[in-house]
Amino acid sequence: MELKKLILAPMAGVADGAMRTICVRHGAEFTVTEMVSAAAVYYKDKKTYRLAEITQAETPCAVQVFGHDPDIVAYAITALYEAAKIKPAAFDVNMGCPVKKVVRGGDGSALMRDIRLAERIISAAVKVSPVPVTVKMRAGFDKDSINAPELAKAAEAAGASALCVHGRTREDMYKQGTVRRGVIADVVKAVNIPVAANGDIFTAEDALSMLDETGAAAVAVARGALGNPFIFEEIRAALGKKDYTPPTDAERIEAAKEHIRLIVEEKGEKAGIPESRKHAAWYLKGMRGAAWARQTVNTVSTEADMIKILDRVSEGLTV
């Protein structure tokens, strides 16, 4: 599988269709859905199926599944592929999620403690999937068990087409300064399939030094894209050694408005407006009037009122 260089990493509760669309519009070359429970697919949960829906505007997009039972993961991949109107470019298996509830269920990063089971899950996925299977992992479960290179080799042997490595352990959660680029480099050396490097990429310089230090084929950006889909254009410019002019506050606000419209289009006002509040706050971070806007967005429930608040920040009329 040829791995695209600029990837929007999966983010449950954040990187929905709207976020993926706006990131593609700003240069992301590959996106991934929020994680989808294989067990919930098995139990035919409608909401779960919706999480796996993608539109043309977000493609190429992988659907990410999580689970610990090889048969159920295989079932979910078959069922999701059949149900998909726009087919995913790949299925990504989550072996990195650190959330307590997920790990307790034996899913996500818990699989880094059981490489034989991880391998069986990947094999089962590869066997049924009509599209490539990729795997997202952390550096290891904790600092005493840094085993991403070992899991990577097992994943390759089981037929995975590409990997994404978040250079933290499960124990590190999201702590600043804990990304182990050396471990990502070890994974790159250990396998012949392409590897995306992930963790703490907030600027183009972060992306360039990550690629340089790890030898990875791609970078995956998660939190660096919050309120900042422009990061993909910024990285692309740096890769091409081109000048880059960061967006003005007015341009950032226009992107926020576009993002909110996409959320409402996808989910309607009732579900969409509460979700759009956090995105609005991320876009406005650091701007004059941001604190006022952050409070005020909580008091409105329509798209028109959200847009009005953003326009007021843009016009400097907030105080």
Ligand X SMILES: Cc1cc2nc3c(=O)[nH]c(=O)nc-3n(C[C@H](O)[C@H](O)[C@H](O)COP(=O)(O)O)c2cc1C
Q: Distance between CA 232 and CA 7 in Å, rounded?
A: 8
Segment contacting ligand X by CB under 6 A, of 41-49, 51-59, 197-205, 280-288: 197-205
User: According to the binding rule CB under 6 A, does residue 181 interact with ligand X?
Assistant: no
Q: Distance between CA 47 and CA 44 in Å, rounded?
A: 9
User: According to the binding rule CB under 6 A, does residue 195 interact with ligand X?
Assistant: no
Q: Looking at 23, 61, 97, 164, which residue is catalytic?
A: 97
Segment contacting ligand X by CB under 6 A, of 3-11, 123-131, 238-246, 297-305: 3-11
Q: How many residues bind ligand X (CB under 6 A)?
A: 22
Q: Which residue lies nearer to ligand X by CB, 199 or 227? A: 199
Largest Cα–Cα separation, the chain? 60
Q: Distance between CA 246 and CA 248 in Å, rounded?
A: 7
C-beta separation of 280 from 256 below 8 A: yes
Q: Which residue lies nearer to ligand X by CB, 35 or 273? A: 35
Angle, CA of 220, 225 and 226, to the nearest 5°? 140
The amino acid sitting at 311 is D
Q: Which residue lies nearer to ligand X by CB, 61 or 97? A: 97
Q: Which residue lies nearer to ligand X by CB, 221 or 313? A: 221
User: According to the binding rule CB under 6 A, does residue 199 interact with ligand X?
Assistant: yes
HSE-CB at 277 with a 13 A cutoff on CA atoms is 17
| DSSP-derived secondary structure letter, 248 | P
Closest separation in Å from C-beta 214 to ligand X: 14
Q: Which of 35, 44, 12 is nearest to 92 (CA)?
A: 35
User: According to the binding rule CB under 6 A, does residue 10 interact with ligand X?
Assistant: yes
| Torsion sign, CA atoms 62, 279, 67, 114 | positive
61 catalytically annotated: no
* Contact pattern for ligand X over residues 20 through 39, marking x by CB under 6 A: --------------xx----
Q: Distance between CA 108 and CA 101 in Å, rounded?
A: 10
Q: Which residue lies nearer to ligand X by CB, 35 or 253? A: 35
C-beta separation of 196 from 2 below 8 A: no
Q: For residue 155, give Cα distances in angstroms to 167, 183, 217, 221, 266.
A: 17, 16, 17, 22, 35
User: According to the binding rule CB under 6 A, does residue 11 interact with ligand X?
Assistant: yes
Q: Which residue lies nearer to ligand X by CB, 199 or 289? A: 199
Closest separation in Å from C-beta 15 to ligand X: 7
* Contact pattern for ligand X over residues 80 through 99, marking x by CB under 6 A: --------------x-xx--
Pick the binder of ligand X from 158, 201, 262, 264 (CB under 6 A): 201
Q: Distance between CA 24 and CA 124 in Å, rounded?
A: 31
Encoded tokens for 210 = 């990550």
Pick the binder of ligand X from 1, 12, 57, 307 (CB under 6 A): 12
Residue 211: CB atoms within 10 Å? 18
Residue 85: CB atoms within 10 Å? 8
* Contact pattern for ligand X over residues 202 through 241, marking x by CB under 6 A: -------------------xxxx-----------------
Q: Distance between CA 118 and CA 55 in Å, rounded?
A: 30
Closest separation in Å from C-beta 62 to ligand X: 10
Q: Which residue lies nearer to ligand X by CB, 81 or 202? A: 202
- Catalytic positions, please? 97
Give me the residues that bind ligand X (CB under 6 A), please: 9-14, 34-35, 64, 94, 96-97, 136, 166, 198-201, 221-224
